[in-house]
Structure 1
Amino acid sequence: MNASQAAATQGTASRKTPPPRSSAARSLELASREGIEHYIADLNARAPMAHREIASWGRDRAPRLQLELVQAARAKAESAAPQLFLTESRNSFVLNVRSQTRQTADSDHLLVGLVLSGSVRMQMMAEGECLARAGEGLVFNPAEVAQAQFAADSHFVEIALPREPLLRLSSTLWTAAGSETPPSLLRPKLAPALAQKLHFMAQQASGLLQHGDEATPPFLIERWVEMMGLSLLHEQAVAAPGLKACQGRPAPIMPRNLRRALDYLDAHAQSEILLTDIAAAACVSVSSLLRHFNEHLGLTPMAYLRQLRLDRARAELRQGKAGRIGELAQRWGFQSAGKFSQAYLRRFGERPSDSR
């Protein structure tokens, strides 16, 4: 049971009288096939971005579904609804979850999934298939998950980490290490030691949320979230582009025509470039070019070019050579300063003005 499903449950409850902040946890327990099937059908109707179905009930197993949701109040927007922080689920059946729509934008959160028992199998759009067994974990962008399967008798904990603060931490860590650009792709698979550490920290934060009162300041939760992000970034190896990290296979050798395309983009990043220009420089058809970029980099050529331009713009900002933000955006092929700033924030977790 993933956070998008839990959020739908939360949405139903939040339309009722809002509870005090001390009541941060919400629970659901179902113990009949009819009740579980009705709940899943209702969830599919209310949250159609994904389709959930029971693949198998299993033999000699009493039907059971338990959910616990823990919310965190927003420190900077007291009037806003609390954010879903942690979801804990137990299911006696095999559950399949399939994405119904391809999302065009990254999620505001990265999700850390910890498998306490059973197993979870996810099909990622870029990394391929990831299997996490008991004691292991996964970190992923929910917008990049095509489908997932939760084995029978799985006990799964999912933690939502705000993406922008995590990117800022990443930028700070790799800047201190002497790198101009922080890596943007974490290995999806979490080793047992790291999964156990993150689970402990999530339990401590959840305890504050569930047993706190109005005097519990939200920044205490933010510090726990920051500690989880630092542990994740410090101990998680970073995957190179194109590495199918979940399946343990080495990255395939890059074809010569793809290398020619990358060299062309590197040399002409500041120029107006069409897809046909890149294909001509690589001496391949447009369809072959798209296939090679997807297989080896998990990106389209224009998405790679966009990232390259953002990296170059960031280097100029940090070196004090950028000038006005609007001029910088135009120089690197963005239609407006606003669109440039939005893209910059998504990639680096900070505004262009913060990078000067």
Structure 2
Amino acid sequence: MEPLTFESRDLGQTEEFLNKAYARMRIGSDVPSPRAVISRQVMGTVSIDRLRLDFAMSYDVNPLGKVCLCTVESGTIAQQVAGGDQEVFGPGDAVLFAPHDLPYTGQIRRSRYHIIMFDPALMQQVAGTLPGRRPEPVRLLGHRPVSAVAGQHLARTIAYLRDDVLANPELADQPLVVSTAGQLLAASVLVALPSNATADATAQDGRDAHPKALRRAIAHIDAHADEPLGINDIAAAARVSTRALQYAFRRHLGTTPLGYLRQVRLAHAHDELKTNDPRTTTVAAVAARWGFFHPGRFSLTYMAAYGRTPRETLHAPAEAPPR
């Protein structure tokens, strides 16, 4: 397939193109004539896009329906998937940009980067070959690779597909090459990123995923919930690997470390909404203070947990102290 190319300095045209190329979204710019240059190469259900944005582009995107990876060459990208914490990606990062079934929002700040998308069914096919694998949908459990080595491997795989396979039309048109390349990408993703497909811990991870490590992790989260926290920070505080940390939280609490962190932050936000004065406090300010940067999604998450909107909690009469 011939590469798809796009270039414009018109924000409306860029938004229209992005809606067709990805999913429904709204974008904004910090300059009057924002330059965007985008090219796409496609191989089967895998696409690799090269993007250059010479402006700071804010965005709010519906679910893509595909697994979306990102490698950053320059600039920075601040990203938040619904129900998650804001992540900031920079040069050299190879990460999960967004899962296939969740909306996301953020800002791309004068960046050159690649977006890699593929059908989540590819991960299901590859995971099905793992011995002892339970027949359940594959889910990625974190945005960043489990180690620096794993991240480098994922970046090399993407570069190989982009520069050696897709750049050679004779190879990219061969059905067997297309099939194998897609499986290679899916396998690299499952090796590099935490997922329930590779959740069966190694023997060392199993030994490390004990209640003491979990208690250390929980204590660190509880003490630092109002600070920027990533899974590597929590694992370091628990003195275990990130994989062992993921395993410990799944095994003992049925959630992920960042999922637990979101629960703690939501509880703090709930307490502030109950006790703060609505004349001097806003829901948006409380949400942002606890890492929820999209007010609409914060409200949905809050309602699911507490059965009423944040605004209703903030404006509710103060509860009488117990006698």
**Cα separation, 2, equivalents of 1:44 and 1:209:** 22
Query: Which residue of structure 2 lines up, in the alignment, with residue 36 of structure 1?
Result: 10
Deviation for aligned residue 1:177: 5.3
Structure 1 distance, partners of 2:306, 2:95, is 27
What residue number does 1:352 align with? none
Change (3 A) 1:217 1:94: same
**Is 1:65 the equivalent of 2:36?**
yes
Q: How does 1:185-334 map to 2 (within 5 A)?
A: 185-190=140-145, 193-206=149-162, 207-213=164-170, 216-238=173-195, 239=246, 240=250, 242-243=255-256, 245=258, 249=261, 252=264, 290-291=304-305
From 133, 141, 151, the counterpart of 2:99: 141
1:276 match: none
Q: Is the 8 A contact 1:124 1:147 kept in 2?
A: yes
Say if 2:140 and 2:194, in contact at 8 Å, map to a contact too.
Answer: no
Write out per-residue CA displacement over residues 106-159 of structure 1, whole angstroms, 9 at most, x where no aligned residue.
82x21111112212122111333222222113212243133121012x111111
- Deviation at 1:189? 1.9
Please give the secondary structure, in 2, of the residue aligned with 1:210: coil
TM norm structure 1: 0.50
SS at match of 1:118: strand
Output aligned runs, 1:115-130, within 5 Å.
Answer: 115-130=72-87
Unaligned runs of 5+ in 2: 196-245, 268-300, 308-323
Q: What is the root-mean-square deviation in Å for CA atoms of aligned residues? A: 3.9
1:56 CA drift (Å)? 4.7
> Residues of 2 paired with 1:225 and 1:91: CA distance?
27
Please, which runs of 5 or more residues in structure 1 have no aligned partner? 1-20, 75-82, 256-286, 294-356
1:119–1:204 distance in 2 versus 1, CA, 3 Å: same
Within the candidate set 41, 54, 57, 2:29 is matched to: 54
SS in structure 1 of the partner of residue 194 of structure 2: coil
- SS of aligned partner of 2:170: coil
Distance 1:25 1:208 in 2: 13
Call closer, same or farther: CA 1:65–1:193 in 2, change over 3 Å.
farther
Q: Distance in 1 between matches of 2:154 and 2:305?
A: 37
Q: For 1:64 and 1:288, how far apart are their aligned partners in 2?
A: 38
Question: Is the 2:46–2:119 Cα contact (8 Å) retained in structure 1?
Answer: no
Q: 1:90 to 1:71 in 2, by over 3 A?
A: same
TM superposition shift of 1:218: 2.3
CA contact (8 A) 1:135 1:195 kept: no
Cross-structure match for 1:86: 48
